[in-house]
Amino acid sequence: MEKIGFIGLGIMGKPMAKNLLKAGYELVVHDINRAAVKELVEQGAAEEYSSKGVAEKSEIIITMLPNSPDVKEVILGSNGVLEGAKKGTIIIDMSSIAPLVSKEVAAAARKKGVEMLDAPVSGGEPKAVEGTIAIMVGGPEEVFNKVKDILLVMGSSAVLVGEIGSGNVAKLANQVIVALNIAAMSEAMVLATRAGVDPERVYQAIRGGLAGSTVLDAKVPLALEGNFKPGFRIELHIKDLMNALDTAHAVGVPLPLSSQVMEIMQALKVDGKAGDDHGGIIQFYEKLSRTKVRRK
C-alpha cells in the first residue's frame, strides 16, 4: 500500500484520516492542532512537523484545509509540500477552494513533476465519520484512476468531473443547492410553526414527496432540537458562496438567490453565529418572525 501524507485534521479531515488508518494505510499527518495530531498518532499514524516533512515521507499527499490561501501556503509556501515532494508524487487537495487557485497550484506542481487532483467533498461531519462523503474530482483521468480506491475508503462515491478545477466547480454547484435548500427548509418550517402546526409533523408529511431531500432529513431534526453544533460552519459556507459568486460573475452567470442567502449568512455572522452549523440559517427566520421551530 502507498504511504499517504495527510495535512489538515479539522472537522472533516480528522475522520477521513481515521478511515484511511482503519483501512490499513500507512499515514503521516500534520496539523497546527496538536490535539488532533495526538489523536491520530494514538491510532497508528506517524507525526511530521511541517508540510515539507510530510511530503518527503509520502507518495500521495492529501490536503484538507479551510480556504484557498491555506492551500497555497501549505503546498507552495516555505517548508511546503512542493519543497519536499519527489517527482511522481500525487497531491489530492480535498479542500473546497476557488477553481482558479486549484489550476494555479496544479501548474506549479506540474513544473516539479508532481501531479495534482482537486477533490472537494460533500456530506459534512457525519458522512466523513461514516466514510460516505461524495467526492468531486478534477484532474487527469490516469491520476484519478491511480487513487480512486483511496478516495473510496473515505467516500461512497468519487466522480471525475473534468480537468483540474472541475472538482471545485462541482462543489460550488453543490454548495449553492445546499444553501438554497436550507433557506427554503427554514422558511417552510418557520411558516408551519407560526401558523400553529407542529413542524415535526409537517416534516414527516412532506419528506416522502417532491420536497423531500437529503438536506431536509439532515437539518430539520437538528433544528427541532435547537442543535446547531457545527458539522459545517456558516463561516465556511460563506467562503464557498463567495467563491461561487466570484466564479459565476467571472463567467457571466448571475446568481440572485445565492446572493440573498449570502446576505442571510452575513447577518448571522454579525449576530455572532458564524461558528454555528449552516443548518442554523433557520435562526435568521426565527428572529424575524419571533418564532422558534422546536420539537413539541
Annotated domain spans of the chain = 3-163, 169-289
* pLDDT for 179: 98
Which one of the listed residues 103, 127, 171, 239 is annotated catalytic?
171
Give per-residue pLDDT as tens, 105-128: 999 999 999 999 999 999 989 999
Q: Which three cell numbers stand for residue 140?
A: 487527469
* Model confidence pLDDT, tens digit, residues 130-144: 999 999 999 999 999
CB 265, CB 238: distance < 8 Å: yes
What is the phi-psi region of residue 240: left when phi exceeds 0, alpha when psi lies from -120 to 50, beta otherwise?
alpha
In CATH terms, 169-289 corresponds, of 3.30.910.20, 3.40.190.80, 1.10.1040.10, 1.10.3210.10, to 1.10.1040.10
For 1, 143, 196, 258, 291, the CA distances from 91, given in Å and listed in that order, are 16, 10, 53, 31, 48
Residues 93, 53: Cα–Cα separation, whole Å? 17
Does the annotation count 146 as an active-site position? no
CB 178 within 8 A of CB 281: no
CA angle 199, 277, 66 (to 5 degrees): 155
CA distance linking residue 5 with residue 14, whole number of Å: 13
CATH number corresponding to 3-163: 3.40.50.720
All cell numbers assigned to 69: 490561501
Q: What are the tens digits of pLDDT across the range 238-293?
A: 999 999 999 999 999 999 999 999 999 999 999 999 999 999 999 999 999 999 99
